Amino acid sequence: MRIVVLIKQVPDPLLPVSELTVSPDGGKILGPENVPPVVNGYDEQAMEAALRIKEFRDGECEIIALSAGDNFVLDVLQRSLVEADDLVLIEDESLDTSDPHHLARVLGAAIQHLGDVELVLGGRQASDWDHGQVPLALAEHLDWPCLTLARAVRVDDTRVEVERVLSDGYQMMKCGLPAVVTVTSELGELRYPTMQMRLQARRRRPVQVSLEDLQVGTDIDPEWRTLGVSMLEKTRDCRFIGPDDGTEAGRQLAAVLLEEGAIVSIQPGGGV
């Protein structure tokens, strides 16, 4: 069985908001240059699901990590080679986009280019845009069924079965292969590779595939446009009550609070 795991390079979601900036074109949020990106956390859950399937099938399974984007940091993405049999990268400036339909077309072409893929696993969403659209659009392009929000994934030779997360429990779903499945963090803890496995992975090289190889053009009119991104701005208005005399300071404080609507005037006798 050949399984493709979709992975995405994203800014570290643990960065404080104060460290993030908006790109010059206003189209996306950027992390600081001195902090490397990371692999999307939900995609790591998808990789763990693939590894569990491989274990269940006694190793009779090939896992291929697949990523489409731009400005890849190889030291980050190569970590997928610790667990996957191969890493396939499609790098092009046109893929630095929030358009899930264009990304799905490219990923679909890559999956068809690989051939004999029976299962595609991806995270439920990416931590940069939080759209959760690419796996769904990919299933549509491939004309495959899509099962979402899986906390457990089991496969046999002809079908896939998942436990789908609900707000008050879970739902059992199954469909025939090939299929696309999105995985959520309820899958459980990830395994951690040894240092030896990490060093071995650094010596392996990913497979680079171009859009020309996939016969996909870059001049496609986007179906999804980001008009602009801005950081939430917080402002504070602080006033100091100056008099040292407590009675006068209290009067001035009451006047400020009345002006701002924080309190209402109480008349003698209880009237407002």
The structure tokens listed for 138 are: 């990919």
pLDDT tier, 145 (very low <50, low <70, confident <90, very high otherwise): very high
Q: Is 143 helix (H, G, I), strand (E, B) or coil?
A: coil
- List pLDDT tens digits, range 39-91: 999 999 999 999 999 999 988 899 999 999 999 998 889 888 888 999 999 99
Domains defined for the chain, CATH in brackets:
2-214 (3.40.50.620), 235-272 (no CATH)
pTM as predicted: 0.81
Helix (H) or strand (E) holding 151: strand 146-155
Q: Is 209 helix (H, G, I), strand (E, B) or coil?
A: coil
- List pLDDT tens digits, range 205-219: 899 999 999 988 766
**Measured distance CA(2)–CA(111) in Å, rounded:** 11
What's at 172, amino acid-wise?
Answer: M
SS3 annotation, 51-103: HHHHHHCCCCCEEEEEEEECCCCHHHHHHHHHCCCEEEEEECHHHCCCCHHHH
**Measured distance CA(225)–CA(216) in Å, rounded:** 20
User: How confident is the model at residue 269, as a pLDDT?
Assistant: 56
Q: 17: burial class by Cβ within 10 Å (0-12, 13-18, 19+)?
A: exposed
The structure tokens listed for 102 are: 């264009």
The structure tokens listed for 98 are: 């929030």
Kindly list the distances between the CA atom of residue 176 and the CA atoms of 1, 39, 123, 162, in Å, as whole numbers in the listed order: 14, 29, 20, 12
The structure tokens listed for 61 are: 């399974």
